[in-house]
Amino acid sequence: MAKRQLASDLHLEDDLTILKNSKKQKTEMGSSSSSSHCFCEICTEKKPTEEMFNNNNSCVYSFCSDCIIKHITIKVQHNNFINNNEVSCPGVDCVDHVLELEACSSFLPKEVIEKWNEALCEYSILGSNKFYCPFKDCSATLIDDGDEGEVIRQSECPICHRLFCARCYVPWHSGVDCEEFQRMNEDERGREDLMVKELAEEKKWKRCPRCKYYVEKTEGAVSSFAMDVD
């Protein structure tokens, strides 16, 4: 009888040992599974570590590859770059880090890489020679390809076909040279104001120093016009 009881106790101890080891293994597996996942700051989901984007360990924020691809694609498609054609970090208030093509090219779609490369080449080639059409409803990217030392003033935008001054970077100021235009006040640079000024010079009208109206002298008398360009 005692032998049977001893065998039963030993069998029970074996079962308890097996149960403890099983629980320990499950705990270790759960801990390992939790540590192999990271939190994405964009989609706010936990993703496997291998699905996360690593910005060369230079940023404290973490993002999954799917979200970072969408972020970069939108920025590149809209030419929304910073610095030397780099993409801003999507982290909240992250202003110290950027996304560079070299660190992202391994997982980006081919067309996004090509467009980003084009932007980098354009920046390196054009540099300071790039400017934009001064008409707000156009704003096409233009290149100052004038020869060195050559002064180009009147130019035509190849996109909207309107004239502008390539020296002042404003719509063409007909009848007013660049030096005089730069001396004018901001409220005197409108198209109508420049037309009045051009007409006044043609008719040899003068401006009254007090009221700023243009005046014309006819047969010894002075007549004024209600043409205030201020």
Tell me which residue of 142, 146, 147 sits closest to 130, measured CA to CA: 142
Which domains are assigned to the chain?
46-126 (3.30.40.10), 130-201 (no CATH)
Place 109 in a pLDDT band, splitting at 50, 70 and 90. very high
pTM of the model: 0.44
Place 169 in a pLDDT band, splitting at 50, 70 and 90. confident
What is the torsion angle, in degrees rounded to the nearest 10, for the CA atoms of residue 92, residue 94, residue 100 and residue 102?
A: -80
Q: Give the model's pLDDT for residue 105.
A: 87
Q: Which residues is 155 bridged to in the sheet?
A: 164
The two tokens of residue 41 are 């700051």
Q: Which residues contact 152 (CB under 8 A, 6 or more apart)?
A: 144, 146, 166, 167
Which SS3 state, helix, strand or coil, does residue 214 take?
strand
pLDDT higher than threshold 50 for residue 23: no
Check residues 164 and 126 and name the one with the higher pLDDT.
Answer: 164
Check residues 29 and 189 and name the one with the higher pLDDT.
Answer: 189
* Cβ-contact 116, 101 below 8 angstroms: yes
* Cβ-contact 53, 76 below 8 angstroms: no
Q: Give the model's pLDDT for residue 127.
A: 60
